[in-house]
Amino acid sequence: MTAPRLERALGFWPALFTGIGLVVAATTLTTLGNGFGLGGPAFVVAAGAALLVMILIAFSYSELANLIPGAGMIGAYTAPALGRGPAIFAVLAGYIVLVATVEPANQMVGGLAAQELIPAVSPMVFAVTVTVIFCVINLLGVRSFGRAQAVVTGAMMLVLIGFGVAGLMEAGGGTLVADPIVFNPAGWGEIAQLVALGVYLFIGIEFVCPMSEEIRRPGRIIPRAMIVGLVTVFCVDMLFGFAALKYVGLDELASSAIPHLLVAESIGGRTGLLILTAATVLAAASSVSAILAAVPRMVYGLARDGMLPRVFAWVHPRFHTPWVAVFGVTALIIAAIVTVADSGSILTLILVATVMWLLSYILAQVDVIVLRRRYPHARRGFRTPLYPLPQIMGIAMCGWMIVNIHPDPSMRTTVWLGAAGCAAVILGYAVVWLKIVKRLPFFTPAPLPSAGPAAPEPPVAVAGRPR
């Protein structure tokens, strides 16, 4: 009897909303406001450069998702290209660090927004409560989070467009900034160093890739959904950002943990504040729901393939969810909320996660080059145009952004140290787990699942115990 397979039932719009669902999060709005505060109107140049970099990265992920479809994403792409050790690093650096840094920050921003609605609410209690609620929902196997996320994401985009249009037309009734703002108050050197901050406006667009087995014509839809999503987010963010500059001063935008709420109140008064506050709370809830649906399944995939302890591959017999992985990711989020995710550290957490995510993006682009050389005849539904130029440019730009992660040298050093600490822990785990516990090679590539008869696998010498 043939095993059941996933149905290819999803078209362009579900793919688009999946891609931008994690991009339009609470911390993205913090980054947007801080970016315009640091760079003034010229931040649009930094954000435009970041958009071009992310389009190059989208090409790489689109090719990889069509070559190796499935939920494992960057881990599944890296294992046959560079080996199990780099695959572990790619997943843990790109997504477990996200769980430990950005997602707690998302929930704290949501908590700060909730406090604007109800002053007695503690941001930390709100963040923990929302995380626990969506942990229970995901443990029960509720699958409606995707639809809810699409509704919330669409509503959030419409709200931002509304505030942007009202602000630019000066129709909100608020008080305009008294002094005119020059286009580039910080200088082009600082704008160049804000490109990395601009990249955070788009990070997460690749979350459409785990759905490659469920998307009709993935070779066409995945790259289109990613690129249309990137351009849409850029246009909406810039519209809101330029409206913000009319009503809120640069220093306030640069230093606030919730600059978007300052903008909403300045444009629309108490009513505007309540509208965007409610949208921010919903965005925080949607974000943790998506994280607790996606990341535990990446952890499950690593554990199933022997790259994490087997316990994380346990599936609940009734609800068919990776319950140990869900509990583990939830515990990590709550621990980070309690220990590090205060309002003063949100930007630092965002930048540390951005560095680790950029390292994961570099590995994805290296994967494309290696797999093109190793499996030149493998079936690919999408091929990067002008290969390998986008990959070379993407790798170079990601490296440059890591070096220039923030204009302030002290902040830059703090972010580098935080990222170095995360990388050391991940690499230490990978070495101990693969070399000592599992006795598996660190760099020896795994077989390519989708190579097929037209693309024979190269001989691989696998040491240690058979799997």
Mean pLDDT of 198-219: 79
Mean pLDDT of 426-430: 93
Position 8 pLDDT exceeds 70: no
Is 178 inside a domain boundary? yes
Position 318 pLDDT exceeds 80: no
Predicted confidence at residue 398, as pLDDT, reads 92
Mean pLDDT, the chain, rounded, equals 82
Is 137 inside a domain boundary? yes
Predicted confidence at residue 344, as pLDDT, reads 57
Position 5 pLDDT exceeds 50: no
Position 353 pLDDT exceeds 70: yes
Position 41 pLDDT exceeds 90: yes
Characterize 8-28 residue by residue with b for buried, 16 or more Cβ atoms within 10 angstroms of its Cβ, and e for exposed.
eebebebbbbbbbbbbbbbbb
Predicted confidence at residue 148, as pLDDT, reads 60
Position 336 pLDDT exceeds 70: yes
294 vs 241: which has the higher pLDDT: 241
Predicted confidence at residue 186, as pLDDT, reads 80
Domain total for the chain?
1
Is 136 inside a domain boundary? yes
Mean pLDDT of 400-426: 90
294 vs 135: which has the higher pLDDT: 135
Is 134 inside a domain boundary? yes
Mean pLDDT of 2-11: 51
Predicted confidence at residue 456, as pLDDT, reads 41
pLDDT per position as a tens digit, 248-282:
888 889 888 788 888 988 898 888 888 888 888 77
CATH code of the domain in which 91 resides: 1.20.1740.10
Mean pLDDT of 182-186: 82
Position 165 pLDDT exceeds 90: yes
Mean pLDDT of 401-418: 89
Is 456 inside a domain boundary? no
pTM: 0.83
Q: Range of 417's domain? A: 12-437
Is 4 inside a domain boundary? no
Mean pLDDT of 59-80: 87
Is 455 inside a domain boundary? no
232 vs 23: which has the higher pLDDT: 232
Position 454 pLDDT exceeds 50: no
Whole-number CA gyration radius for the chain: 22
Mean pLDDT of 360-371: 96
pLDDT confidence tier of residue 308, bands split at 50, 70 and 90: confident
Is 33 inside a domain boundary? yes
